[in-house]
Amino acid sequence: MEKQLEYSEFIKKEAKELGFLSCGISPAGFLEDQAPKLEQWLKEGRHGKMSYMENHFDKRLDPTILVPGAKSVISLLLNYHSETTQKDPEAPKISSYAFGKDYHLVIKDKLNQLLERLRYEIGDIEGRVFVDSAPVMDKAWAEKAGLGWVGKNTNLISKQVGSFFFIAELIIDLELAYDLPVADHCGSCTACIDACPTDALTAPYEIDGSKCISYATIELKDAIPDFFVGKMENWMFGCDICQTVCPWNRFAKAHDEKAFDPTGELIDFTKKDWIELTEETFKKVFPKSAVKRTKYEGLKRNIQFLKMN
């Protein structure tokens, strides 16, 4: 137990040095309480056309299938909160997590560094890094590791720093000292539910993904349904509403990760600039950005939808 505690403290110290906001550790095992919730959510079609959510059901719930021999799930948070805003108040809006370089690239690099440091310090460790691109239930693991609670807006919330952060995991075959979950501090607040313009938050702690503005502007590849007419609040990529109104985000501090700083064009572009966006400019403004997920055609579709409605 002494060794396990020593290794866990080493991991948290190294994570902090690499710029992570916080780090928590939980034992790898089947997420029993999540299985019926996920099954029901899929059965009700709340994933919309995100058919990939139906795949790898068992892997989503059991990290030992993803990483044979897994003993520990190390959950990490990386701050992306920005106090910078787009200058033209009428310009179509981009979720602040996509202001800078694609977070997948930034975080994966940090996680690989962390794994190498562990191997150097501890010895031969088998493990894999995960950043939102594999069937891992990030929020459930971060909650188990005591990094926050899943709030009424279905985001992980920390009492200390709010919710403007990315979640990532390092799953390894080493037993460690484990953290305990924290209490839910949403209380009687319903700010997120009241503020959601599409009523995607159908009840406290429940979301219909197919009604979410982020789904419509990023995940959905077809034409945006008429359901969203007059409800988009000028968002062309993602949506920050249910986080912005959350009282716990008054404790959010600006990130210090240079890679997440926005380009000048993104911040300075006027509404007219976005409407007249060319593919050449798109490639220039978003060279290594999460916005590339929509591709040029998808972003133009979103801008056109806002213009028409």
Considering 132, 173, 179, 273, which one is annotated as catalytic? 132
- Determine phi and psi for 261, rounding to 5 degrees: -70, 140
Would you give the distance in Å from CA 232 to the centre of its chain?
20
Pairing state between β 22-27 and 156-157 = unpaired
Q: Is 132 a catalytic residue?
A: yes
Distance from C-alpha of 41 to C-alpha of 143, rounded to nearest angstrom: 19
Q: Are 144 and 162 in contact (CB under 8 A)?
A: no
- Determine phi and psi for 43, rounding to 5 degrees: -60, -35
Residues making up the chain, counted from first to last: 309
Would you give the distance in Å from CA 294 to the centre of its chain?
16
Opening angle at CA 178, ends 255 and 121, nearest 5: 75
Which of the residues are catalytic?
Answer: 132
